[in-house]
Amino acid sequence: MKLFISADIEGVSGVVDAEHTGRTGREHDRARMYMTQEVNACIEGALEAGVREVVVNDSHGTMRNILFEHLHPKADLISGSPKKLAMVEGLTEKFDAAIFIGYHTRMGTNGILNHTFHGRAIRNIRVNGNDYGEFGLNAAVAGYYGVPVVMVSGCDLLSEEATALIPNINTIVVKKTMNRTTARNVSMKQTHEKIRSMTLQAIKERVNNKPYLIQAPLHVEVSFMHTGLADIAETLPVVKRVDHLTVAINTDTIIDAYRYIRSLIMMVGSYA
């Protein structure tokens, strides 16, 4: 049995501020350890459930956050950037299940450190008329490969966002939102035990989870924080301007849509 883990940092217990998430933040190294420990708890639960192979994809920022020397020795780590599939790089149809650790809500919600891929650049992403954050888009990529997302951890509002898309997904609330940069955090010991035990349960009951799919064809709209970013995005030949802030792309697969979205973000990121 093979498990894919995508690990972000904003949804980790104890992480509430840019000082935790940014490379130059005074609390960043501490947050990296928190992130690594939550991933390890997930790996422990997976191994107890009979998983034979675990691949972890570091999915935050530069994607060089997980402390490799402290990562569980039974897991492989995908780190570094750029990656064609970013937060779900390495995921294929050969995996039996996927788990997302440390995830956050999409931009415009009230979840802790809410954003969608790039907080200074992206206002919203819509696919076939529905708003999506990182969780939903990454789950759809997994679904394309026939892989169900069986569990996700993060704040209480991320749990709501996830269950709205995948009603029977297992969710772990590691902190309760008070505002965008304030939370009531569950203790590390309790958080790790929750993740371990829920991973064990989620893997054993994975037959109850179906892959999440977005039906093709796909009409993708990306709205930016200011018009200058949309101007830059519009230079891509496949892009059509919808309004002052928004561009649109039509694709046949979520893989192409995801790669276009990521490409647009890389194009505009340095101007945000």
User: Is 10 among the annotated ligand-binding positions?
Assistant: yes
Catalytic site positions: 115
H helix intervals, 71-148: 134-144
- For residue 9, how many other CB atoms are within 10 A of its CB? 25
- pLDDT score of 64: 98
Using alpha carbons only, what angle is made at residue 124 by residues 23 and 195, rounded to the nearest 5 degrees? 55
Contact (Cβ atoms closer than 8 angstroms) between residue 2 and residue 148:
no
Q: Is position 219 annotated in a ligand binding site? A: no
Q: Is 8 annotated as a binding residue?
A: yes
C-alpha distances in Å from residue 120, one per residue of 18, 20, 46, 202, 246? 13, 17, 36, 35, 15
Q: Which domains does the chain have, with CATH numbers?
A: 2-117+133-208 (3.40.50.10780), 218-271 (no CATH)
State yes or no: 118 annotated in a binding site.
no
Q: Provide the pLDDT for residue 272.
A: 82
Give me 161's structure tokens.
Answer: 């966002």
69 known ligand binder: no
Angle, helix 156-165 to helix 134-144, in steps of 10 degrees: 40
Residue among 71, 82, 21, 9 at smallest CA distance from 43:
71
Low-confidence spans in the chain with pLDDT less than 50? none
